[in-house]
Amino acid sequence: MFTDMQAASARLTYQPSPREPDFPQGSRAFSLERRWRQPEQRTGHARQDIMISRWTYPQAGVRREEATTPPDRYFFAIALKTTRLKLTRGAQTIFDGIMPAGTLYVGAPSKQLCAQFHAPCDFLHFHVPANCLPSPEPGRDPVTPDGLNDLVLLRDPFAGQLAKALTEHGHLVDQEFVRCIAQTLAMHVARRELPRTKVNALPKWRLRRIEEYVRTHFDHGISLSDLAGVAGLSRMHFAAQFRAATGYRPREYLLHQRIEHAKSLLLNSETPLAEVALAVGFCTQAHFSTVFKRITGDTPARWRCASRNALVSPGPAADDPASGRSAVSRVLPADLS
């Protein structure tokens, strides 16, 4: 039985040439959406083709959007950056909270969806004909629209890698390569082992307790038992509900909070790195630097230098949502990029 990575390797046969061609406007792999989930119909695209588009919302204010999936298509969305949003259908709340980068959302045909964006965001959208989903493997239940509808896979690593393959060179990539990526994503979704039970998200009043506790104790040792006690739940139930509400395991959330406080110290003081590490709860500067780079992509020293330079000479890149620095810092309750 193939793993997802083996399946991708078998399908993705695209070999870039030593010198990438200069693609004309009409041959771009995907377009930027002017309206949410409404890709431009491009010439040469058959109705049965998979279409890919990109939705970017750089502002910090709340924006409400609504769309209905066509009756012959599924809708896949991959978050390219961490954001905060609420997904609803009528009175039903499907998702409400921090959506990490790499999250995969699947919507079934003929389903209406309302989205409220509370922070800058960047999504890659796949509009997939129903007949593009592969048949199930022997011994597995067939794929049904109800089984896939409103499927939210927080930080799906494989989907994140597929999105990266499409976006790392902009949207000027070979059409056959794009088609292979989209088909591989459809296979990945169809072959997922769907959850048999749904975990309820941690109620907002309990989440606020946790946020306040972490905010005032981030520089001390905090255990899972401590957080579960604050929430008034067992460790197992708390961990599952916390992840459903935020997309993060409790320890990951704590690390991100520590890094956020470290950013403030780095930006607004001359505190040495070793002292910053101790001030935000790390035992060693080496561990602090490792975690900081994993979360931000930069070492603490480079981040401090780049951030201060951006404040002195602000340019277009300083407010570019793709940079993830100024935009994601407005995500509440914490910057979880």
Query: Model confidence over 31-63: pLDDT tens digits?
Result: 889 899 988 765 555 555 788 899 998 887 889
* Residue 65, pLDDT score: 94
Report the b/e string of 165-180 with b at 16+ CB within 10 A: bbbeeebebbeebbbb
For residues 205-227, average pLDDT? 89
Percent over 90 (pLDDT), the chain: 27
Tell me the two tokens of residue 326: 């100024």
* Per-residue model confidence (pLDDT) at position 137: 60
What's the pLDDT at 313?
A: 64
Q: Which phi and psi (to 5°) does residue 142 adopt? A: -65, 155
Give every CB contact of residue 18 below 8 A, 6+ residues apart in sequence: none
Residue range 7-40, pLDDT digits in tens: 444 343 333 333 333 434 445 667 889 899 988 7
C-alpha pair distances (Å), 317 with each of 33, 117, 144, 321, 334 = 21, 22, 44, 8, 22
Q: What is the pLDDT of residue 138?
A: 59
CB 77 within 8 A of CB 44: no
Rounded to whole angstroms, the Cα distance separating 30 from 39 reads 8
**pLDDT mean across residues, the chain:** 78
| Residue 304 binned pLDDT confidence (cut-offs 50, 70, 90) | very high
42 burial via Cβ count (<10 Å: 0-12, 13-18, 19+): middle
For tokens 């409103």, what's the residue? 150
Tell which wins on pLDDT, 140 or 87.
87
Q: What is the SS3 assignment for 303?
A: helix
